Amino acid sequence: MSGELKRGLEGVLVTESELSFIDGDAGQLIYRGYAIEDLARDASYEEVLYLLWHGELPTSSELDEFSDELAAHRDLGDGILDVARELAEQDESPMAALRTLVSAMSAYDEHADFEDVTDREVNLEKAKRITAKMPSVLAAYARFRRGDDYVAPNSDLNHAANFLYMLNGEEPNEVLAETFDMALVLHADHGLNASTFSAMVTASTLSDMYSAVTSAVGTLSGSLHGGANANVMRMLKDVDDSDMDPVEWVKDALDRGERVAGFGHRVYNVKDPRAKILGEKSEALGKAAGDMKWYEMSVAVEEYISGEKGLAPNVDFYSASTYYQMGIPIDLYTPIFAVSRVGGWIAHVLEQYDDNRLIRPRARYTGDTDLDFPALDER
Q: Are 114 and 122 in contact (CB under 8 A)?
A: yes
Amino acid at residue number 110: E
| Residue 271 near residue 298 (C-beta atoms within 8 A) | no
DSSP string, 90-103: TT--HHHHHHHHHH
Q: How far apart are the C-alpha atoms of 80 and 30, rounded to whole Å?
A: 36
Model pTM score: 0.94
* pLDDT over 60 (residue 1): no
Q: Indicate where the chain has its CATH 1.10.230.10 domain(s).
A: 227-326
Q: How do residues 116-137 score in pLDDT, each as one tens digit?
A: 899 999 999 999 999 999 999 9
Model confidence pLDDT, tens digit, residues 239-252: 999 999 999 999 99
- Contact of 159 with 70, CB cutoff 8 Å: yes
Phi, psi of 310 (to 5 degrees): 70, 20
**What is residue 135's predicted lDDT score, i.e. its pLDDT?**
98
DSSP alpha helix (H) spans, the chain: 36-42, 45-54, 60-72, 78-89, 94-105, 120-145, 159-168, 174-187, 194-204, 209-220, 228-242, 246-255, 273-289, 293-309, 315-325, 333-354
Tell me the CATH number for domain 227-326. 1.10.230.10
Whether residue 25 contacts residue 269, with contact meaning beta carbons closer than 8 Å, is answered with yes
How far apart are alpha carbons 14 and 2 in whole angstroms?
18
Any idea which architecture 28-222+335-354 has in CATH? Orthogonal Bundle (1.10)
Measuring CA to CA, which residue among 74, 79, 43, 85 is closest to residue 136? 74
- Determine the Cα–Cα distance for residues 230 and 215; give it in Å rounded to an integer: 21
Lowest-confidence region among 2-11, 104-113, 122-131:
2-11
**H-only helix segments in 169-272:** 174-187, 194-204, 209-220, 228-242, 246-255
- pLDDT recorded at residue 109: 87
Q: What is the CA radius of gyration of the chain?
A: 22
By annotation, the residues acting in catalysis are 265, 316
More confident residue, 361 or 111: 361
Coarse DSSP helix, strand, coil percentages of the chain, rounded to the nearest 5 percent: 60, 5, 35
List, for residues 252-272, the tens digit of each pLDDT value: 999 998 888 888 787 888 898
- 210 falls in which pLDDT band (50, 70, 90)? very high
pLDDT for the residue 11: 77
Closest by CA to 123, choosing from 33, 211, 32, is 211
Contact 80, 136 (CB under 8 A): no
- Which residues belong to CATH 1.10.580.10 in the chain? 28-222+335-354
Summary mean pLDDT of the chain: 93
* pLDDT per residue as tens digits for the range 24-60: 889 999 999 999 999 999 999 999 999 999 999 999 9
**Predicted confidence band of residue 10 (pLDDT cuts 50, 70, 90):** confident
Answer yes or no: is pLDDT of 69 > 60: yes
Cα 352 to Cα 358: distance, rounded to the nearest angstrom: 9
Instruction: Please determine, for residue 193, whether its predicted confidence score (pLDDT) is greater than 70.
Output: yes
The span from the CA of 94 to the CA of 88, in Å, is 9
Q: What is the pLDDT of residue 119?
A: 93
- Give the pairing type, strands 20-23 and 28-31: antiparallel
Please state, in angstroms and rounded to a whole number, the distance separating the CA atoms of residues 77 and 90: 20
